[in-house]
Amino acid sequence: MPSRFRSAGARSALVALFALHLGACTVNKYVELSANPKLADVAGLTTKSGRVVNFEPRGAVISNNNLYAVGAQGQVVIPTDSIKTVWVKQFSTSHTLGLVAALAAVIVGYVAVSNHVTGHCNPCG
């Protein structure tokens, strides 16, 4: 590994950028419950009355015409006939490509500035 990436600050910055990358590669797809979404990937829902419920962590179970999940305030139980849409987390190619391009630009900029400051860049003059 090049010496410029051995510093704790550089490693921390790369880890932080990678962590941001993980969350940015998904999008919520809004689907009706009747479409039988994969319940393990359900991140939240909107009721027919307009109430928004986020699940933490994502995932839900349906039993006896009720949807069960865990929300910010604890267990969530919603009758299935009152659910308008559920939000299913899905991989996003466009978000991933955009984030990879942004990460590459940050890394190239960091290396260029680092080389210029330390005098390792002859063409920088």
pLDDT at 123 over 50: yes
Please tell me the predicted confidence (pLDDT) of residue 1.
Answer: 46
Every domain of the chain and the residues it spans = 3-114
Furthest-apart CA pair in the chain: how many Å? 73
Question: Where on the phi/psi map is residue 59: left (φ > 0), alpha (ψ -120 to 50), or beta?
Answer: left
Cα→Cα distances 99→23, 43, 114, 117, 118, Å: 10, 22, 22, 27, 28
- Count of helices and strands (H, E) across the chain: 2, 7
Please tell me the predicted confidence (pLDDT) of residue 37.
Answer: 84
What tokens appear for 5 in the block?
């990436």
Q: Give pLDDT tens digits for 98-116.
A: 777 777 788 877 777 776 6
Please tell me the predicted confidence (pLDDT) of residue 108.
Answer: 78
Q: Give pLDDT tens digits for 17-66.
A: 666 555 567 777 888 888 788 888 899 999 999 999 999 888 899 999 99
C-beta atoms surrounding 71 within 10 Å: 14
The verdict on pTM exceeding 0.85 is no
Q: How far apart are CA 68 and CA 7, in angstroms?
A: 46
Please tell me the predicted confidence (pLDDT) of residue 97.
Answer: 73
